[in-house]
Structure formats: C-alpha cells, structure tokens
Amino acid sequence: MTEETKQNAEKSLMDELGFNEAEIVRRRAFLELGDDDIQELVSIRKIAQEYADPVLEAFYKHLLSFDETRAFFQNPKLLEHVKQAQKAYFAGLTEGAYDKDYIEDRLKIGAIHERIGLPVKAYMGMYNFYLRNVANYLFEEYKNEPGKALRAYLSLLKVVFLDIGLAIDTYISRREQLIGKQREAMRELPTQEALSMRGGVVGYQLPPLHASHLEVTTGDLLIFATDGISSDFAMRLSPWDPMLRHQPVQEIADRILARFGKLTDDALVLVIRYLGSAP
Ligand code: HEM
C-alpha cells in the first residue's frame, strides 16, 4: 500500500465513524482523561517497557492455550509479526499522546480484528488478561506506594477503555455496512407476493368484492388465474425462473396453462408485465 492510499484508507475510517477533533475531545472528556492522567501514564513508561516482554509472554501462553483463539495463529510468521505489533501497541498506552494519529491507529486495529472475524469476547478477554497482569507488576513495583500504583492503574484504565470503545465502534460500523449491503442485495432479488383467492362461479355467484392493494415497480409480473389452474401454481413457479423474467407475457400464460391446467376444468390465465408509467 502506498503512503497516499494508506492515508486515504485511514481517513475514510475516521470519516466512516464520524470522527473529528471535537469527537476526540468529547470522548476524552467523558472518560475524564486529563493532563493528570497523561502525567501518571508517562511516569510509568519506563516500568511499562520493563514489563512489556513478560506480560506479552503470559498473554500468548494464555491465548494459545485455547483452541478458539489459537486458531487465529496457524502461521508462526504471523504470530511473530502480531507479537511485535502488539508490543508497540501496548507501549502506546503510556506514551501520553492520545490524539488524532492515536485514534486513527486504534480504529485501524479494530478494523483488522473485525476483518479477521475475531469475536469481541476474545478481544475483551485478552484485554482483561493484560490488565490483570499489568496490575500485578504496578502494585509490585510500587509496593511501598500503593496510592501511586492505583493512580497510574486508573489512568491506564481510561486509555484502555478509550481503545476498547474505538475497537467496538469499528466492529459495529463494519457490521452495519454489511447489513446495509445485504439489504440492498435483497432488494435486487426477485420476490413473490400473492393476493388472496376469491371463491365463486363466473357469471353465476359473485363473491363479495374486496379491494387488494399491491405496489408494483417496473419489470414486475402480475399473474391472475382461475380455478382451472392448479392452486399451488404460484408456489411451484420459482421467481428466479428465467421464463418469468424474459419471455413475452403470452408465452408465459400459455406455459402456465399447459403446465398447471387441470384438464378437467376450463381455465383462464392473465399475465401482465408492468413496464412503468408512460414518460
Ligand atoms: C488486547 C487485545 C488485543 C490487542 C491490543 C491486539 C492488537 C493487535 C495489533 C496491534 C495488531 C497488528 C495490526 C497491524 O498489523 O497493523 C493485531 C493483529 C492481529 N491480531 Fe490482535 N490484538 C488483541 C487481541 C487479539 C486476539 C485475542 C487475537 C486472536 C485470538 C488476535 C489476533 C490477531 C491477528 C490474527 C492479527 C493479524 C491480522 C492480520 O494482519 O491479518 N488479536 N492485533
């Protein structure tokens, strides 16, 4: 990916989720992620570098001990690549810059996990695992200053929740897009609707008349049939049948009569193709 295409992809992810500077400020304000937190986080940066490797080791020991999470890492090269990327990701938590670039990066990572079909429960479970491990290191490091450990940990939680919120928003946005696309595709599919049957004998016993309304759009096919045509004919006609889509209406009527006519009764088939309103 060229630098320009990469930037466009990231930009569109920010656009997709309606992200701008104001939204970033609002998210941070809602989490009460302020300058004090940034100071706390930057103050543990060195310790974070020290616990990075052992925490990641424990992280993978746990992740690889479950079939459903191990399945994502069949390729050892991918495992090595992701380990390195995660190390940089976790380091980012204590770097103190939770700005536009940071948000873009986090959205991109959310989108990657959504693309590979990582269940949210696996993502959340591993984040929880990570946080529990980090808590142990922090409280051990500051065992004589538990207040300091708690402050740093609570600040870390704010950034982590910022990240989790971004990842989940990416999941939701991508799923909504998918649902939208599926709806559009379904609208393109041919469907069948039936008007209710009316009993009676033509010219002798007229049943009470009821108006039925059916919306039609250009290309729709309307078929009326009397009881000399087998009553399940509409169910046995597939809306995908090329005959219904392409043949002249006279031929369709003839074929329905030939295929579904009862032979013991007279029958009428009326086929109308709606060509749209006149210009
Ligand atoms: C705390 C939770 C997690 C974090 C912070 C995280 C972070 C990351 C990062 C930074 C990348 C690299 C993205 C890139 O290449 O730019 C990545 C990729 C990946 N992650 Fe995660 N991850 C988490 C949980 C998981 C879990 C639980 C699994 C699987 C069980 C997983 C599977 C993967 C895979 C397979 C990739 C590579 C995707 C690809 O490039 O095709 N991740 N993750």
Query: Residue 66: helix, strand or coil by DSSP?
Result: coil
Ligand 1 centroid, distance to 268 Cα (angstroms): 65
Tokens of 90: 């976790």
Q: What is the pLDDT of residue 192?
A: 66
Residue 227 DSSP SS3:
coil
Q: Could you identify the atom of ligand 1 that is nearest to the CA of residue 163? A: 5
Q: Ligand 1, closest atom to CA 71?
A: 30
What domains can be seen in the chain, in order of their start residue? 3-188 (1.10.490.10), 190-279 (no CATH)
Name the β-bridge partners of 221.
273
The whole-number pLDDT of residue 195 equals 67
pLDDT at 180: 86
Residue 103: both structure tokens together: 């948000």
Which residue out of 109, 157, 160 has the highest number of ligand 1 atoms within 8 Å of its CB and is therefore the one to mutate?
109
**What pLDDT, on the 0 to 100 scale, is given for residue 86?**
97
The residues of the chain scoring below 50 in pLDDT are: 1, 10
Partners of 212 in the β-ladder: none
Distance CA 214, CA 271 (A): 15
Q: What is the pLDDT of residue 277?
A: 77
